[in-house]
Structure 1
């Protein structure tokens, strides 16, 4: 398992387990399987409505808390300074934890213009030692720049949609310049056509791996943090089994050529749902 070091010195597993769209009752067995396979980073969110299930799997696992890296997120309707502090307490309670390793703003929702106040509340949680790191999700360059200009703590990462059809190169460059990691959600494009792509299929055959494993390996070698999600035990295992092969420079170049700016989810400036 590879770890990365975030800009505040905290270590985080580069490969984590996501639970988006996993119902609460399914989250417990899915996270339990992920932990059994070897995942130590779990990514949840208030809006997923599965923090209870995630917390139960953590409690039942018998793994030392300090050996786990737990992420959750503040939802759009909970943004603003006081709301964020309340939402954090509620998430902690559902997870059954004393702290989380990483707390993220789920979307910038620029129409409501409260993400700076939200982030300032997260800075308080960080300074109070209730979270070990803070960051954001789905922030475009202009949203990140505003945080850099108006806040004190540089986000450790920006979790965004990223896969071979949406490689986010300009955003990655900006983040790299400011020592902010990019973390990929929907890294397999929700299992859509990218897994059927001929280039990916050929590569999988060449390496004796599945298309999903090739794409996860591409993320890792692109220096991104990646959080594939599955509730299928065999796939949970398969997605973790990516440390015993390497893509060549030629493989990486061929995947780079697949970029087509194709989003599966919303454009961040258009996501204002509360």
Structure 2
């Protein structure tokens, strides 16, 4: 195993940059896993997250072992309406359509639930364990392919790619339960997260049709939306505290 790249400053910069990019790309995957597993019975959620993230690691490392094939996925296989489509394009379009369908379905469920459903009762099982793992696996494949193609475009040192992928997936594993718990405890965040998934799905479709959307714009929009939602949460918390103080005041005077 060749570690001569460790003494190369350029390779170390590439490693640091790739780690950051892989972590950021993993956010999309993690949001999807968090929302999906919150629909399982409580005792199955943590296990499903570990399996989902473990599958992401296996897929990414497996794809790294077939870099020669991955590179060919970007080669055109047919042309339609003046645009040459590759296998990567078709996979991104398929994954994007799945994300759009899934996010739209969940948004509809939250906006117009059936009379017997409680919109924010995520403790109720609305999905089987097998169905959740299957859907996570499908999106893992799409996100993993995008992740590895990004890595191949930045460096040709396989060990750097492996380290970046392992670090990114480890961060996902550590953040999975806290993120899912946060979404579970803050129901309004669910709609925001579903909006993120809808935007990510549309971006994947656009990428598949050759319209490159800079990732920086997407994550800047997500960060800004999250900041506004954070301010809303602080505002609601302040109003609750004020209401509690006002409710206790008459009792003290009495």
TM-score, with normalisation over the residues of structure 2?
0.25
The structure richer in helix per residue is 2
Bigger radius of gyration: 2
Structure with the larger strand share:
1
Q: TM-score scaled to structure 1, two decimals?
A: 0.24
With a CA cutoff of 8 Å and minimum separation of 6, indicate the structure with the bigger relative contact order: 2
